[in-house]
Amino acid sequence: MKTKQPERSTRREFLAAAALSAAAPVLANAVEDRRPIPLGFDNFAVRAMGWKADQLLDYAMKLNVDSLLISDLDALESLEPAHLERLRARAKELGVGIHLGTWSICPTSTTFKKKWGNAEQLLALGLRSAAALGSPVLRVVLGNGADRDTPGGIKARIDDTVAVCKSQRALAEKLNVKIAVENHAGDLQAHELVTLVEKGGKSFVGVNLDAGNSTWTLEDPLASLELLGPYAVTTSLRDSMVWESPNGATVQWTAMGEGVVDWKKYFDRFQTLCPGVPVHIETISGFNREIPFLKPGFWKNFPEARASDLAAFLALAKRGKPKPAHSAPAGEDPKAAEKKYQIAELERSLAYCRSIGLGIKK
């Protein structure tokens, strides 16, 4: 009997090894599908709720996310240092990273507002508020697509934005807060935003990467990622459905996983190009916007458009299919319906992102 024990033991070991070997491809796939990228949301995704910072943190805790982008100063009940430091401590206790943002810092943009003073004053206020909150970035924008049709075109607006950034370089470096310029609402193509960052100074200016906005500037989000990824310090992401239409192409922003973007491929590259950068979901869904690039005069506002970008965008449009615009159910209060819709779009998007391996928290 004793001489047979090693034989039985060897057989058991063989069977166990065989079982592990059979399971290995499954385990390997599980590891390969894991994309440990911090996951969270941009408060603009739930703008109809009108939540302030504490309510946003409550919601972040409920969703068990890693990060929160508060993309406008109005979501802060106070900009007093004591209030911001309390929020910072609460976020840390909850294990939620905070990124802060504001809007246009281009004084000649059609979107610039003087609520917080001039552009330099707004940028300085935002940087100080970000530092007090513990945010490593301040998300800003140049403007929107209308700025392409202003005197001097988008190149002049880039130069004006660069000048404002440079005016606050010493403060940004002292506070260790990076200015994160977004490709926003049709204002900047990826190569133009790279120009802005390089002119401004990439040591203190970076990018807030917005995948949805790239489709409004006739770009494939994956191609935009290749250019902007190395400069990205924060994000505002959503999916897009794109399809051919009579005057060019039509775009509808959608929940993640419901458009034409290959997100598995996107986030595989994102991990490489943007290590440690959080993914903030900013769903702005339900309406259609036509990009009328076949109409006479359209291209005068895109003087440096590149054929390769248009080709990639057209390939997206050929894969997409028309999607009807969203409308509130008959008989339901429109405001209540919009709140419900925004919550559903965001939470469905987060669930999709987790299904492909994003997120740090379990």
Report angle CA 232, 233, 238 to the nearest 5 degrees.
70
Report pLDDT digits (tens) over 244-263. 999 999 999 999 999 999 99
Q: Percent helix, strand and coil across the chain, each rounded to 5?
A: 50, 15, 35
DSSP string, 116-130: TSSHHHHHHHHHHHH
Report pLDDT digits (tens) over 34-71. 899 999 999 999 999 999 999 999 999 999 999 999 99
- Whole-angstrom Cα distance, residue 39 to residue 43? 13
Alpha helices in 39-80 (DSSP H): 53-63
- Whole-angstrom Cα distance, residue 231 to residue 357? 23
CA atoms within 13 A on the CB side of 156: 12
Report pLDDT digits (tens) over 81-129. 999 999 999 999 999 999 999 999 999 999 999 999 999 999 999 999 9
Using a pLDDT cut of 90, give the percent of the chain over it: 90
* Whole-prediction pTM: 0.91
Decide if pLDDT at 277 tops 80.
yes
DSSP string, 215-267: HHTT--HHHHHHHHGGGEEEE-B-EEEEEEETTEEEEEEESTTSSS--HHHHH
Domain boundaries, the chain: 36-355
CATH fold for the domain made of 36-355: TIM Barrel (3.20.20)
- Whole-angstrom Cα distance, residue 122 to residue 290? 33
